[in-house]
Amino acid sequence: MIAATASDGTPLNRKVVDTLRREIEGGRPTVGERLPTEEALCQRFGVSRHTVRDALRKLREEGLVSSRQGAGTTVIRRGSQPLYVQSVSSVEELLQYATEARYEVDKSGMVVADAALARRLGCSASQRWLRVEGFRYLAGQAEPICWTEVFVLADYAGVGLRIGRCAGTIYSWIEEMYGVRISEVEQVLQAEPMPDAIGKRLSAPPGGTAISIRRAYRLADRRLVEVAFNLHRSDRFTYSVTLKRKP
């Protein structure tokens, strides 16, 4: 299904979400008050009930509201704490994530995989990689949402000139610059201790837990060309997955 968009190309459900979020953060409606009914929101924004329900679902995922059948939708938090909700259901949606979350690079350089790094990446020892690390920020927020470490196979290290300078995904730059195609992205989420240095930048409490996301990008011949690691505060991160049945 293709999402309905406004005249400027922005998905309608995002416009509804952004407007309601701003109002909630501004204190109207206040915590404990109900949002207007779905029918009233449809009329206000000129959108379908499906669009309104999708927008309310996203607000629930952000922890701003709760819904109960027969009782409507109630504001439960004003959103003073930054909370990041990532919803990715296709490789192409990673482009939206990279566009929304700015990557500021702290360090970069070439490394040779020793035995430990080879196990971590799932590659052969002695392979050369471009390693980049830094933090990602959402627009208008001074505090980063996550720490990101990226490894790009040396054969494709030319993309390093764009990392942190251009909006977009590293995998799409590899495709564009080298005429190849990423056919598979393996993704693994797990909980692990938050490193002290990274936790301090993320304003995480000492001894806290991080959510680690590892993404491995492969070509059609199964060659590994990129591995990315993201560390989020566990209390400020929600990952949404939508599973669709095949026709």
Identify the segments of the chain with pLDDT beneath 50: 1-3, 80, 82
Nearest-angstrom CA–CA distance, 218 and 216: 7
What's the pLDDT at 26?
A: 80
Alpha carbon separation from 138 to 104, 141, 222 (Å, rounded): 11, 6, 33
What's the pLDDT at 61?
A: 76
Per the document, the length of the chain is 247
Task: Kindly list the structural domains of the chain, giving each domain's residue range(s) and its CATH number in brackets, ordered by start.
Answer: 12-75 (1.10.10.10), 84-240 (3.40.1410.10)
Answer whether 192's CB lies under 8 Å from 209's CB. yes
Environment class of 227 (CB within 10 Å of its CB; exposed 0-12, middle 13-18, buried 19+): buried
Query: Which run of H or E residues covers position 225?
Result: strand 224-233
Q: pTM (2 decimals)?
A: 0.64
The identity of residue 117, as a single letter, is L
Answer whether 225's CB lies under 8 Å from 219's CB. yes
What's the pLDDT at 247?
A: 67
What's the pLDDT at 7?
A: 54
What's the pLDDT at 244?
A: 65
What's the pLDDT at 136?
A: 92
What's the pLDDT at 1?
A: 39
The identity of residue 60, as a single letter, is R
In sequence order, the β-bridge partners of residue 215 are 187, 228
What's the pLDDT at 90?
A: 56
- E strands, 127-223, are 128-138, 146-153, 182-193, 209-219
